[in-house]
Structure 1
Amino acid sequence: MDAKPVPPASPTLEHVARVAGVSRATVSRVINNVRNVDPQLAEAVRAAVEQTGYVPNQAARSLVTRRTNSVALVVSEGEHRSVPVSDPFVGRIFTDPFFGRIVAGLFSVLRPRAVNLALMFVETDEMRRQLLGYLRQGHVDGVLLVSSHAQDPLPRMLTDSGLPAVLSERPSGELHISYVDSPQRAGAALAAEHLARRGCRHVATISGPLDMPAGRDRLDGFRDEMAKYGYAHIPAVEGYFTQDSGSAAMARLLDEYPEIDGVFAANDLMALGAVTVLHERGRRIPEDTAVVGFDDSHAALLCRPALTTVHQPVEEMAAEMARILLDRIDRPDLPAACAIFDPTLVVRASA
């Protein structure tokens, strides 16, 4: 019988080095994402890796570098939140365009660095304890934390653990943790200024959840700015950053204040819901009622008419979160850092 052909041995670092015309050490540095490698040499190594089909041994690399080349995106929800139980947490996350923009911004930085992203959701104290145990076992190199509730203990738990972490908004209290944020009050003030200058006389607002800093800050910023223009009372109904809650809030406002001629919704999904109800009630937009949203998400373009909204550069903010985290992973001795991105008003047809 003919002997079976022997499959070729798996390519090694030495094979890659010979093809690239560099040393084994240079190949190792490129594969392990060590900085300060000459760009031309790095490109030659990457081409040789593709040509040879070399696959790094992740377990061996982790032993040498003490890195997993993975980070966690943790989305944390408060256990005692105001959002109705019938509105599932994970379901809301995946239907909210804000979250998709965060992921897109993170990937724009992580993908070129060959860093994997693990997605995790936590809602309860028990889930937070389980998460911390998982993180302490070294499964990821750092954490990108999206936490929307002021009383969430997870930011402090992460700082106490010493694991590199970056928060998606300014932390409450005295915490030595890196963060990225946009001034929520200033953004809401832009909406108030626009409605006041349009000449709206009977203005109302649909707030976000008032147990969330963003919900409270956007409400306070809007009311404070309207007061500067002489508006003593701004009716408000609390929503939950969902389209359905925006519809319900708008219906309630119209029932109680039928003279409303200007509305600020604290995010675009609620504004979309508000516009639907206004159309159902026979209101022309913006002739009868002007509407302004917040975030400048895809929902603003789906709206008819197109939604005037406060723009947050969410993708850029998320990308900066990733950059800050990777810097902390490379240099654990760096102090906590922050980056603030100013909001702007995007004027479209709704106001």
Structure 2
Amino acid sequence: MDDETVTIRDVAKLAGVAVSTASRALSGGSASEKTRQKVRQAAEALHFVPNQAAKQLTSGKSNVVAIMVPEEPDFVFRDAFVSGMVAQLATSFTAVGLLPFLALTKPHDAQGFLKVLRGSGASGIVVISFHYSKPFADALEQSGKPIVSIGTPHPAMHYPYVDVDNYQGGYDAAKLLYKRGRRNIAVIAGPTDMQASVLRTEGVQDGLKALDLEPVALVCGEYGAKRGEDEMNRILEKHPNVDGVFAESDEIAAGALRALLNAGKRVPEDVALIGFDDFHVARVVSPRLTTFAQPLATMAETATQMMVERLETGEWKRRAVIFPAPMVRRESA
């Protein structure tokens, strides 16, 4: 049989199953492993290549999923969390027969997002690194698409999401710094319009409060090494007695570490330092960072499963999945 004439009906006939069953088996839908194997063998024998455009026309749905990142393009590819999560989502969606589409828009550019989304023909959206604003939240609502958030959404938004326990990480950071004998503790936090940062900050503040302490300094802003270095320099100038720092990302912590070492501070002898993420930078700086690990691959696979369930059944089987962020002890604290 000529390759160009092979259809899903031919595959189904050879495998001895219904056309709908063959389609589900090849696209990662509900089917037994025995059926999947029969259908895959039939497809391989016939050299079948799915025609995605035809699939969309006949079903009224596409198998495209938009991975939306409302950040400046340079940030997307230099930030370890965002770039790592995009890569993991692309892998996990592809594995179940969905086509990931990377939708980059500037923060708060609601209309630009809607334009990109409509052009993609996506059936669902995964949002990463969402900075809350009402216009953007309204744009997501107007899209009418199933949405999964990587990270806890703003309280005004009620989307299913996957995240780590940011609050507990902040709380545990406070306890560890206290246990290490630190009493003059500074917090270099992330943006206040992102729930991950808000929760980490609430956690460390509550942890310190339970120990009858409060931060000697608490500064908020973007995630990034340059900002971590600049903020640490300012903190040292105003609070030279600082002896502990919780940086709400490893990138911030790496910048803070550079500032501390340049100021002649020993880490952890003079200043104990804790990050968050457990990305590559945490393992290559010296001393290596004590931090909290985010399981990117597991988070991406879970978000993919949630989206597949929604696209197949029309319902969300799970609304929130929160993973622990285990502490990884190294030399910095």
Structure 1 counterpart of 2:208, which letter?
M
Q: For the residues of structure 2 that align with 1:21 and 1:258, how far apart are their CA atoms?
A: 73
Establish whether residue 273 from structure 1 lines up as the match of residue 260 from structure 2: no
Structure 2 counterpart of 1:93, which letter?
V
TM-fit CA distance, 1:99: 1.3
Q: For the residues of structure 1 that align with 2:119 and 2:273, how far apart are their CA atoms?
A: 49
1:77-116 to 2 correspondences below 5 Å: 77=71, 89-116=72-99
Establish whether residue 157 from structure 1 lines up as the match of residue 151 from structure 2: no
1:253: which partner in 2?
Answer: 235
Establish whether residue 296 from structure 1 lines up as the match of residue 278 from structure 2: yes
Q: For the residues of structure 1 that align with 2:274 and 2:137, how far apart are their CA atoms?
A: 32
TM-fit CA distance, 1:72: 0.4
Establish whether residue 39 from structure 1 lines up as the match of residue 22 from structure 2: no
Using a 3 Å threshold, how does the CA distance of structure 1 residues 225 and 55 change in structure 2: closer, same or farther? Answer: same
Which shifted more, 305-314 or 261-270?
305-314
SS in 1 for 2:4: coil
Q: For the residues of structure 2 that align with 1:29 and 1:307, how far apart are their CA atoms?
A: 45
TM-fit CA distance, 1:203: 1.7
Is the contact between residue 3 and residue 48 of structure 2 (CA under 8 Å) also seen in structure 1?
Answer: no
Using a 3 Å threshold, how does the CA distance of structure 1 residues 342 and 155 change in structure 2: closer, same or farther? Answer: farther
TM-fit CA distance, 1:178: 1.4
Structure 2 counterpart of 1:244, which letter?
K
Is the contact between residue 146 and residue 168 of structure 1 (CA under 8 Å) also seen in structure 2?
Answer: yes
Equivalent in 56, 62, 77 of residue 62 of structure 1: 56
Establish whether residue 72 from structure 1 lines up as the match of residue 66 from structure 2: yes
Establish whether residue 203 from structure 1 lines up as the match of residue 185 from structure 2: yes
1:85: which partner in 2?
Answer: none
Using a 3 Å threshold, how does the CA distance of structure 1 residues 124 and 175 change in structure 2: closer, same or farther? Answer: closer
TM-fit CA distance, 1:57: 2.1
Using the aligned pairs only, state the percent identity.
32
* CA shift digits 1:121-151 (9 cap, x unpaired): 22266x4224324535671110001243232
* CA shift digits 1:40-88 (9 cap, x unpaired): 33223323323433222222211222232110000124xxxxxxxxxxx
TM-fit CA distance, 1:97: 0.9
Unaligned segments of structure 2, at least 5 residues: none
TM-fit CA distance, 1:246: 0.6
Q: For the residues of structure 2 that align with 1:295 and 1:139, how far apart are their CA atoms?
A: 33
Structure 1 counterpart of 2:38, which letter?
A
Is the contact between residue 186 and residue 245 of structure 2 (CA under 8 Å) also seen in structure 1?
Answer: yes
TM-fit CA distance, 1:343: 2.4
Equivalent in 278, 300, 303 of residue 318 of structure 1: 300
Establish whether residue 52 from structure 1 lines up as the match of residue 46 from structure 2: yes
Is the contact between residue 65 and residue 126 of structure 2 (CA under 8 Å) also seen in structure 1?
Answer: yes
Using a 3 Å threshold, how does the CA distance of structure 1 residues 91 and 171 change in structure 2: closer, same or farther? Answer: same
Using a 3 Å threshold, how does the CA distance of structure 1 residues 211 and 54 change in structure 2: closer, same or farther? Answer: closer
TM-score when normalising by structure 2: 0.88
2:209: which partner in 1?
Answer: 227
Using a 3 Å threshold, how does the CA distance of structure 1 residues 155 and 313 change in structure 2: closer, same or farther? Answer: farther
Structure 2 counterpart of 1:259, which letter?
N
Is the contact between residue 216 and residue 242 of structure 2 (CA under 8 Å) also seen in structure 1?
Answer: no
Q: For the residues of structure 1 that align with 2:29 and 2:171, how far apart are their CA atoms?
A: 45
Q: For the residues of structure 2 that align with 1:117 and 1:101, how far apart are their CA atoms?
A: 14
Q: For the residues of structure 1 that align with 2:27 and 2:325, how far apart are their CA atoms?
A: 38
* CA shift digits 1:148-187 (9 cap, x unpaired): 3232533443334431111223332444421223332221
TM-fit CA distance, 1:28: 4.3
Using a 3 Å threshold, how does the CA distance of structure 1 residues 21 and 93 change in structure 2: closer, same or farther? Answer: closer
SS in 1 for 2:148: strand
TM-fit CA distance, 1:27: 4.0
TM-fit CA distance, 1:285: 1.4
Using a 3 Å threshold, how does the CA distance of structure 1 residues 9 and 183 change in structure 2: closer, same or farther? Answer: closer
Please tell me the root mean square deviation across aligned C-alpha atoms, in Å: 2.6
SS in 1 for 2:275: strand
Q: Across the two proteins, how many residue pairs are aligned to each other?
A: 331
Is the contact between residue 167 and residue 179 of structure 1 (CA under 8 Å) also seen in structure 2?
Answer: yes
Unaligned segments of structure 1, at least 5 residues: 1-6, 78-88
TM-score when normalising by structure 1: 0.84
Which one scores higher on RCO, CA 8 angstroms, separation ≥ 6?
A: 1
